[in-house]
Amino acid sequence: MPRYALKIEYEGGPFNGWQRQAEGQTTVQGAIESALARLEPGPHTIAAAGRTDAGVHGLGQVAHCDLVKAWDPFRLAGAINAHLRPLPVSVTDCALVEDTFHARFSALERRYLFRLITRRAPVTHDRGLVWQVGHPLDIVAMREGATHLIGLHDFTTFRSTMCQSASPVKTLDEIVITELPYPEGKEYHFTLRARSFLHNQVRSIIGTLERVGATNWPPNRVAKALAAKDRAACGPVCPPQGLYLAGVGYPADPFS
């Protein structure tokens, strides 16, 4: 059976997360599997690089599927997209890959983007796509706080109590914080890169760094929170709507 890698983009708002759930729950995985069933009747199961929660978006999610028919990848992407309408999800690229390729287990890194807007007036065009706060943020302080999280650490403080990972020890390779102009305010991009992440790790980190940027926390309190290995030491978990799975890295880019 030929195997295909799919690059997927979606707005998370209308979905109850990525993972297929009970009947009646709209999920990204369920929508794509239903579209595949329209092309080849029968059950389909796709595997993804990462499971995103309800409200979280995808810019470069990667999944793979096995089909009976040999499809031209360009035509397969178009056929899937035709059956996904009008849901806000689309296959932006498709490639025939080796049977050994696995969207999750072959991945070397995941990249997340978080968008945070500071301004008093409610956002309109980006509603549901960003986290908005009404106070200014100190980017220098946030960058200083973020340095304490880079490297190999026990991230118990920054993971959900519902996390199913066998270990809280992860290596966070990079946190980049950039400031951009935004109408009547500012936009902050937080880009995080690691081989894998714990459940709610990114949202816990961003919520904590926002407290630093708001000057409610000194930057060194991030180090103390990390060392505590206690969920109670974490800052507030930020809402999901500003979070995007931005990309997935593999030994060789399947879409190149």
Q: What are phi and psi for residue 208, nearest 5 degrees?
A: -70, -45
DSSP state of 145: H
- Asked if 125 and 149 touch (Cβ cutoff 8 Å), the reply is no
Here the tokens at position 6 are 């799919």
Angle between helix 201-213 and 139-147 (nearest 10) = 130
Core vs surface per residue 71-85: b (16+ CB within 10 A) or e: bebeebbebbeeebe
Here the tokens at position 251 are 């030994």
Catalytic residue of the set 53, 126, 154, 173:
53
DSSP state of 252: S
For residue 147, how many other CB atoms are within 10 A of its CB?
12
Q: Within 13 Å, how many C-alpha atoms sit on residue 251's CB side?
A: 7
Q: Between β-strands 109-118 and 185-194, what pairing exists: parallel, antiparallel or unpaired?
A: antiparallel
Note if 53 is an active site residue.
yes
Q: Is 61 left (phi over 0), alpha (psi -120 to 50) or beta?
A: beta
Catalytic site positions: 53
